[in-house]
Structures are given as structure tokens and as C-alpha cells.
């Protein structure tokens, strides 16, 4: 592996690669070139690597500590009701990452993700309440069921792509809502199914840390997935399935793999969601929820793990945060002629506005905006340039 400065390539009249690839961590003007053994090395010119000053390290450390404080300590200091809301934010992050696998990595849009999540929730509640299984076994079953249904839908997506697949998932979501979630024996019908918290994690705080651990596992799996052969195959598939197939990428296997991963994440998210509120009712999984899942992922920024997590958490607590803390409904109440905007409506009134804003002007979402900060936190130089604006687009979704 050799490092070649791209300005050399430019001098030789070669095309200049526009950006350095998905992660964008490397400085924009350095390209990594693989040189086969036996061939003459072209250029070996090490780019001057940036290293922060001691003060810089301290500043970065402080910011990391602040992030850790918000994630690990702050929820512990709030009352249990609030801890419950933070837990929901963590679970939404898992669901957002699940949708990110489909939307961001395979380019298939799911408008029926509330069904994925709902089936996970009902499965886990059913296993715990009806069969008396322990929590972790129930969660494992929920993940397996999630994988299974994702596999079926993945098989459909191989035949039906783009707009038509979106339509199928939307129809699937509505069908789940009307039919699957109404099967009395499995879901308890309109009364719902109780889903108690596991014995070890009865307190809202402990459950929060449990969900955090699951989120960490999901992030790790997602990160490993994208770093391995499978991840590169998925990226190639999203760019151009035909070209990828020509180069020997097995379209079927990798698409199905992505669907299974997304299904497992969604099943896990659903199960955790069910036990967080200790009961599952079918009204929780309405058609609006699927749209909220899509918009939190898109606003978060496709293929940006940090962006998706922030976006999902934001949409999960937006009603509480904006309306409980800043008391915006008081302000809206002051506008004559408009009725009170209740907090629970915030996601479906403010959310779509953010979505449309993201799509039309900032296609990279939150992930794009925080990229300079992310790079700085990892010990890079703070620079607003080279964030790969052209790279991240919802548009990569296959049509």
C-alpha cells in the first residue's frame, strides 16, 4: 500500500478522483493506490500528516467527555419518566440504523418499517407473556422473526425495484396494521399484549443502559458490515447493480444479507420498544410512524452512522424536547387564529418540513453538517471543505 499525492496524477494528466470514498476521513488530496507486486512504484510522496497540538488534544478530549456525559450520566440524573424518553431515543437510533441499511446501503426504500418494528415488538411480548420465556430469549426470537420477514421482502425486492418496491412495502405496512397485528391469539387484539421489563433491568435507568449496550452492538455490527467484503459489495451494488454483477458481485446474496441485517436491527428495536413501555398496542404502529422513520433517517443523513443516530434520537424526543422544555406551544398559542399545537404532533408537523428542507437544499442531512466536527474529533484538522457534498444523496436510492 502506497500513498500517492493526487497532484502528481494531475500533472500526468490523469483524471482526479473527486473524493476519497465513503468515510472521508483521509485528507481530501491523498489517494491510496494499490500497487501490484512486481510493478514499478509510481510515486512515493508522503503527505504531511496533520497532528493536533497538545492543546488541541485537550480540547478534543473535553468534547469527547461532554458527549460521554450527555449519553451516560445526564439520563441518570433525571427522573424515571425522562429516562424512559431517553431510552426511546436510543431505540429509535437502532431503528434508524436499520432503515439506513436498506435506504443507505442497498438503495431500497421501505415505507412499511413500522411493520418490521411492530412485528419485533409483538413477537417479543408474545414470547414473554404467553410462553413465559426470559427476556433475552424473546429478543432473540424477535430478531429471528425480523430476519425472516426481511428475507421474504428482500426476495420481493430482487424482482420489484425502486418505486414499485416502495409501494409494496407501504401496502405491506398497512396490511400488517389491519391484519397481522389484529390476530387475537398472537397480539391480544385491540387490548394489546403486556411486555414486562426483564428482572435484572426493572428500573428505567438500568433499562436505558441495556438499550445503550444493544445500540453499541448494532453500531459495531453495522461498522463491521461496511468494512468487510459484504459492505464493499453493497456499495458497488448501490452505485450500479449491473456493473457490480459483471464484476462478479453476487447481487442476490448481498441484497438478501443487507435485508436480513436490517430485519434483525428492526426486530431488536421493536422488542426493546415494547419492553420500554411494558405493553404493545397496535395503535403504536400506525402508517404515520413508517413515514417518521423514513424522515428521521433521511434528515439524519444516509450512510452517516452518527447523523442517523442524532436524527433518530432528535425525532424521538422532539415533542418532549421542544414542547416540554422550550415550551413552544406557549409561543404558538400566542398566534391569533391558530389552535394549540400539542407536543405529540411536533414530529408530523415539523418533521416533514425538515425532511423537505433536507431533500431540496441539504441532501446530506445532519451527517453532512457534522462531518467537519467528526473529523476534528478524530484528530483531524477542522475544515469545512471536502465533506463530500456530491457524494451523499438520497438519490442513490435505486429507481
Q: Which is nearer to another protein, 68 or 175 (CB)?
A: 175
294, 296, 309, 392: residue in contact with another protein (rule CB under 8 A):
294
Cα separation, 78 vs 68, whole angstroms: 16
Considering only 141, 298, 322, 366, the residue that binds another protein (CB under 8 A) is 298
Q: Which stretch, 62-70, 167-175, 255-263, 378-386, contacts another protein (CB under 8 A)?
A: 167-175
Name, in order, each residue with C-beta under 8 angstroms of 270's C-beta and a sequence gap of 6 or more: 95, 116, 117, 118, 119, 120, 121, 122, 123, 124, 142, 146
- Residue 83 engages another protein in binding (rule: CB under 8 A): no
- Candidates 67-75, 87-95, 157-165, 265-273: pick the segment binding another protein (CB under 8 A): 157-165
- Taking the complex as a whole, how short is the minimal distance between the CB of residue 398 and another protein, in angstroms? 7
The DSSP symbol for 323 reads I
Tell whether residue 331 is a contact of another protein (CB under 8 A).
no
Radius of gyration of the chain, Cα coordinates, nearest whole angstrom = 23
Of 23 and 178, nearer to another protein (C-beta) is 178
Question: Cell 432503515 sits at which residue?
Answer: 99
CB 392 within 8 A of CB 303: yes
- Number of residues in contact with another protein, rule: CB under 8 A? 50
Of the candidate spans 81-89, 121-129, 234-242, 340-348, the one that interacts with another protein by CB under 8 A turns out to be 340-348
Of 206 and 393, the one with the shorter C-beta distance to another protein is 393
Binding flag, residue 159, another protein (CB under 8 A): yes
Per-residue contact string for residues 259-288; x = within reach of another protein by CB under 8 A: ----------------------------xx
31 binding another protein? (CB under 8 A): no
Backbone angles phi, psi at 30, to 5 degrees: -110, 130
Neighbouring residues of 159: CB distance < 8 A, sequence distance ≥ 6? none
d(CA 179, CA 181) in angstroms, rounded, equals: 6
Smallest separation (angstroms) from another protein to the CB of 287: 6
Stretch that binds another protein, among 84-92, 123-131, 143-151, 351-359 (CB under 8 A): 351-359
Where is 5: in which H helix or E strand?
A: strand 2-5
Residue with grid cell 453538517, as numbered in its chain: 369
Nearer to another protein, 159 or 229 (CB): 159
Q: Mind giving me the DSSP string for 43-111?
A: -----------HHHHHHHHHHHHHHHIIIIIHHHHS-HHHHHHHHHHHHHHHHHHHHHIIIIII----S
Selected binder of another protein within 166, 258, 268, 272 (CB under 8 A): 166
* From candidates 46, 70, 130, 163, binder to another protein by CB under 8 A: 163
Q: Which residue in 148, 309, 137, 312 sits closest to 223, CA to CA?
A: 309
Distance CA 383, CA 50 (A): 12
| Contacts of another protein in 172-191 (CB under 8 A) | 172, 174-175, 177-179, 182-184
Q: Which residues bind another protein (CB under 8 A)?
A: 109, 111, 156, 159-160, 162-164, 166-168, 170-172, 174-175, 177-179, 182-184, 287-288, 291-292, 294-295, 298, 338-339, 341-342, 345, 348-349, 351-353, 355-356, 359-361, 393-395, 397-399
Amino acid at each position: 500500500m502506497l500513498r500517492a499525492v493526487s497532484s502528481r496524477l494531475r500533472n500526468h494528466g490523469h483524471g482526479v478522483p473527486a473524493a476519497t470514498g465513503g468515510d472521508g476521513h483521509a485528507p481530501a488530496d491523498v489517494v491510496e493506490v494499490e500497487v501490484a507486486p512486481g510493478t514499478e512504484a509510481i510515486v512515493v510522496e508522503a503527505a504531511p500528516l496533520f497532528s493536533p497540538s497538545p492543546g488541541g488534544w485537550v480540547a478534543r478530549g473535553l468534547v469527547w467527555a461532554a458527549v460521554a456525559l450527555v449519553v451516560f450520566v445526564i439520563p441518570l440524573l433525571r427522573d424515571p419518566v425522562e429516562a424512559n424518553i431517553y431510552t426511546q431515543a436510543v431505540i429509535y437510533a437502532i431503528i434508524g440504523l436499520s432503515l439506513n441499511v436498506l435506504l443507505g446501503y442497498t438503495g431500497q426504500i421501505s415505507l412499511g418499517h413500522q411493520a418490521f418494528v411492530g412485528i419485533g415488538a409483538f413477537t417479543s411480548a408474545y414470547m414473554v407473556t404467553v410462553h413465559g420465556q426470559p427476556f433475552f430469549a424473546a429478543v432473540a426470537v424477535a430478531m429471528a422473526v425480523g430476519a425472516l420477514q426481511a428475507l421474504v421482502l428482500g426476495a420481493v425486492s430482487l424482482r420489484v425495484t425502486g418505486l414499485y418496491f416502495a409501494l409494496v412495502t407501504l401496502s405491506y405496512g398497512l396490511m400488517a396494521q389491519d391484519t397481522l397485528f389484529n390476530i387475537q391469539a398472537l397480539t391480544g387484539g385491540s387490548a394489546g399484549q403486556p411486555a414486562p421489563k426483564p428482572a435484572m433491568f426493572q428500573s428505567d435507568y438500568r433499562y436505558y443502559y441495556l438499550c445503550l449496550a444493544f445500540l453499541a452492538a448494532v453500531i459495531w455490527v453495522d461498522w463491521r458490515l461496511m468494512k468487510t467484503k459484504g459492505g464493499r459489495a453493497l456499495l458497488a451494488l448501490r452505485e450500479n447493480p449491473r456493473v457490480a454483477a459483471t464484476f462478479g458481485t453476487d447481487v442476490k446474496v448481498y441484497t438478501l444479507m443487507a435485508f436480513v441485517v436490517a430485519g434483525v436491527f428492526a426486530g431488536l428495536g421493536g422488542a426493546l420498544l415494547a419492553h420500554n413501555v411494558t405493553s404493545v398496542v397496535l395503535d403504536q404502529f400506525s402508517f404515520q410512524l413508517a413515514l417518521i422513520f423514513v424522515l428521521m433517517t433521511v434528515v439524519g443523513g444516509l450512510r452517516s452512522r452518527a447523523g442517523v443516530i442524532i436524527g433518530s434520537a432528535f425525532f424521538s424526543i422532539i415533542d418532549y424536547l421542544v414542547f416540554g422544555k422550550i415550551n413552544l406551544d406557549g409561543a404558538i398559542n400566542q398566534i391569533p387564529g391558530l389552535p394549540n399545537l400539542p407536543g405529540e404532533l411536533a414530529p408530523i408537523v415539523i418533521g416533514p418540513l425538515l425532511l423537505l428542507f433536507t431533500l431540496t437544499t441539504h441532501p446530506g442531512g445532519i451527517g453532512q453538517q457534522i462531518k467537519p466536527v467528526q473529523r476534528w474529533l478524530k484528530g483531524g484538522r477542522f475544515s469545512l471543505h471536502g465533506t463530500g457534498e456530491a457524494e451523499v444523496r438520497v438519490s442513490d436510492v435505486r429507481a
